[in-house]
Structure 1
Amino acid sequence: MIRVVVACSPAPRQVLEWPLELPEGATVRDALQACPQLAADGAEVGVWGRKASPDAQLREGDRVEIYRGLLVDPKVARRERFQKQGARAAGLFAKRRPGAKPGY
């Protein structure tokens, strides 16, 4: 028997974990089926933060993670934040000391 943990985050700052004991040679699919309270249909899954297929074999101590989709593309969100801030208030040299040389 191997011990694994199945984790999911249904909402921000909320993590649910289920410790499981599975037979040797179990796959990610087996771990998801062993948790009846999960609804992981079509969701992306991974092991320790790396994307994994449902047929990936698990090892002792693995953490199977179920990922929810992004609501906003991070690149778009950053671009919008930058536009709201303005070019002078953002960037590497935005906070200069009074009397400092340009670029420092």
Structure 2
Amino acid sequence: MAAPESLAVQVCYALPEAAFLRALNLPPGSTVQQAIEHSGLLLQHPEIDLAVNMVGIYGKKKTLDTVLRAQDRVEVYRPLQADPKEARRRRAGGKGAKS
């Protein structure tokens, strides 16, 4: 079976008011970082710092040098606004355990 000549992948970045989603065809062996750079996301959203923002594929954290497979969706994650455990405690209203 012959290797594909290109990989069809997507790059996405979600904001509260909008989402960036771009379909790409990249050469086999392309990495997460190459997909992000090729998508134009960093030009459209210069606030993204790949040294700080986490990335993943279909909700699973990956490194920038991860080699892509056909149909992968590369995701760039925004930093958390609040610690999830602390937010849960606030929603619970500081209620103690029931006895």
Deviation at 1:37, TM superposition (A): 3.6
Greater mean alpha carbon deviation, residues 34-43 or residues 19-28:
34-43
**Aligned counterparts of 1:51 and 1:81: Cα–Cα separation in 2:** 27
Corresponding residue number in structure 1 for 2:7: 2
1:47-86 equivalences in 2 (<5 Å): 47-83=57-93
Per-residue deviation at 1:12? 2.2
Residue range with higher mean Cα deviation, 45-54 or 75-84: 75-84
SS in 2 for 1:61: coil
Q: Which moved more, 1:47-56 or 1:33-42?
A: 33-42
Report the CA distance between 1:14 and its aligned residue. Answer: 3.1
**Structure with more contact order per residue of length (Cα contacts < 8 Å, sep ≥ 6):** 2
Structure number with greater Rg is 1
Which deviations, in whole Å up to 9, do the C-alpha atoms of 1:34-84 show, x marking residues without a partner? 022424322110011111111100000000000001101111111111117
Q: TM-score when scaled to structure 2?
A: 0.77
SS in 2 for 1:33: helix
**How many pairs were matched up?**
86
Alignment partner of 2:21 out of 13, 17, 22: 17
Offset at 1:16? Answer: 1.6
CA contact (8 A) 2:20 2:41 kept: no
2:3 alignment counterpart: none
Instruction: Give the unaligned 5+ runs of structure 1.
Output: 92-104
Look up the SS of the partner of 1:21 in the other structure.
strand
| TM-score (norm: length of structure 1) | 0.73
Distance 1:23 1:47 in 2: 18
